[in-house]
C-alpha cells in the first residue's frame, strides 16, 4: 500500500486480531509467517519501483499503529509497527497541494514523477503478489512431480482460479447484501450466507493444516493468500492501489490530450469514497470473524 492521506484502519484492526491469535494457537504464528512474506514483497516492490522512478520514499513500515522499532538510512525510516497485518510505503506529494518538508527536493516527490513512473510504482505491489502466487503454485506442482513446463502452466491456471473466485465472491456479496446481513445477525446460525470470507481465525486454522501437510500444500496456501491480496488491492477504489492507479492513468490520458497543461487530479476529493471503502472492509472483516467464531462455538 502506498500511503496517501487515508490510514487503513481495517488492516490495523485485523492485525490486532492476528496478534491475539498468535498467542492462542500455533496456526496464528504460521499465518503471521505467510503474511510477513506477502506483505514484505508487496511493500518492497512499491519501494524499489518508487526509487527507480526517481521518487524518495521517506518511510517503509511493516504494520500500522504504535511503532515497535525503526531506524533511518539515507533519508528513509524503516521499521515495524505493532498492528502487523499490513504495511505501507510513504511517498511525499501524493496530491497536488500536499505540503513537503523544507529541504526535501520537489523532484523526489510522487507528483513530480512521470505518469508511467507513478503508475508503475502503484501497480508494483499487486504485481509482486501475483508473481509470487504463480511461483508458489508452480513450485508446489514441481514438488508433486510435474515437469517445470507443465508446472508453470498449472501455476498460471491456479492464479486465474483464485482471481476469478475472489472477484466472483465480491460480486456475490455486493449483489446479496440483504441475505448476507441476515445471516450475520442470525445468532442460531441457521441462515447460511450467500458467500463467506475468511477471518484471521479461519486463516490461522488453514495455515496450521497447510504446514502440517507439507511443503506443496503450504506453498499453495501462500499462493492463495498472495493472489487474494493482489486482487483486492487492484480494485479501482481509493485508498487501495487500484484507486491510485486509476487516478494516475487518468492524469496520463489528460496529459497526452493537453501536453501544455499536465494534469494533476486532487485525490483528496475522493476521501468520501475512500472512507466508504474502508468502512466496507471493516464490515467484511468483522462479519467474517463473527461467522467463524459462531461456527467454532
How deeply is 113 buried, as exposed, middle or buried, from its count of CB atoms within 10 A (0-12, 13-18, 19+)?
A: buried
Q: What is the mean pLDDT of the chain?
A: 87
**Mean pLDDT for the stretch of residues 230-247:** 93
Q: Are 88 and 64 in contact (CB under 8 A)?
A: yes
48: confidence class by pLDDT, cuts 50, 70, 90: very high
Distance (Å, rounded) from C-alpha 69 to C-alpha 73? 14
Q: 187: which residues sit within 8 A by CB, 6+ positions away?
A: 294
**Res 24: pLDDT:** 53
In this structure, the number of other CB atoms found within 10 A of the CB of residue 29 comes to: 16
Is residue 166 within 8 A of residue 230, CB to CB? The reply is no
Determine the pLDDT at residue 3: 53
Question: What counts of helices (H) and strands (E) characterise the chain?
Answer: 9, 3
User: What is the arithmetic mean of pLDDT over 36-63?
Assistant: 94
Judge whether 40 and 1 are in contact, CB under 8 Å.
no
pLDDT at position 66 is 82
CA distance 189 to 279: 24
The number of folded domains in the chain is 1
pLDDT digits (tens, 9 = 90+) for 198-238: 988 889 899 999 999 999 999 999 999 999 999 999 999 99
* Residue 80 pLDDT > 70: yes
DSSP string, 76-144: EEEEEEEEEEEEEEE-S-SSTT----TT--GGGSTTTS-HHHHHHHHHHHHHHHHHHHHHHHHHHHHHT
- Greatest alpha-carbon pair distance for the chain in Å reads 64
pLDDT at residue 10 greater than cutoff 50: no
- Residue 42: how many CB atoms within 10 A of its CB? 27
Q: Which structural domain range is residue 175 located in?
A: 2-296
- 98-123 pLDDT, tens per residue? 889 998 999 999 999 999 999 999 99
Amino acid at each position: 500500500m502506498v500511503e496517501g492521506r487515508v490510514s487503513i484502519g481495517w488492516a490495523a484492526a485485523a492485525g490486532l486480531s492476528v496478534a491475539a491469535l498468535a498467542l492462542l494457537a500455533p496456526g496464528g504464528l504460521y499465518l503471521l509467517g505467510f503474511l510477513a512474506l506477502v506483505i514484505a514483497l508487496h511493500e518492497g516492490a512499491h519501494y524499489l519501483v518508487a526509487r527507480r522512478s526517481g521518487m524518495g520514499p521517506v518511510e517503509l513500515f511493516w504494520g500500522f499503529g504504535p511503532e515497535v522499532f525503526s531506524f533511518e538510512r539515507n533519508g528513509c525510516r524503516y521499521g515495524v509497527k505493532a498492528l502487523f497485518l499490513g504495511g505501507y510505503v510513504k511517498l511525499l506529494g501524493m496530491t497536488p497541494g500536499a505540503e513537503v518538508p523544507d529541504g526535501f527536493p520537489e523532484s523526489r516527490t510522487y507528483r513530480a514523477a512521470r505518469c508511467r513512473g507513478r503508475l508503475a510504482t502503484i501497480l508494483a505491489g499487486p504485481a509482486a503478489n501475483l508473481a509470487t502466487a504463480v511461483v508458489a503454485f508452480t513450485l508446489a506442482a514441481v514438488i508433486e512431480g510435474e515437469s517445470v513446463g507443465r508446472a508453470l502452466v498449472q501455476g498460471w491456471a491456479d492464479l486465474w482460479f483464485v482471481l476469478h473466485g475472489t472477484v466472483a465472491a465480491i460480486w456475490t456479496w455486493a449483489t446479496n447484501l440483504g441475505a448476507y446481513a441476515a445471516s450475520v445477525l442470525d445468532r442460531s446460525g441457521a441462515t447460511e450466507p450467500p458467500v463467506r470470507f475468511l477471518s484471521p481465525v479461519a486463516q490461522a486454522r488453514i495455515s496450521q493444516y497447510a504446514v502440517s501437510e507439507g511443503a506443496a500444500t503450504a506453498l499453495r496456501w501462500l499462493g492463495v493468500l498472495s493472489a487474494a491480496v493482489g486482487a483486492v488491492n487492484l480494485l479501482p477504489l481509493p485508498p487501495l492501489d487500484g484507486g491510485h492507479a486509476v487516478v494516475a492513468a487518468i492524469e496520463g490520458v489528460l496529459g497526452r490530450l493537453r501536453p501544455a497543461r499536465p494534469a494533476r487530479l486532487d485525490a483528496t476529493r475522493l476521501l468520501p469514497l475512500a472512507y466508504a471503502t474502508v468502512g466496507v472492509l471493516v464490515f467484511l472483516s468483522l462479519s467474517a470473524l463473527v461467522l467463524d467464531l459462531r461456527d467454532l462455538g
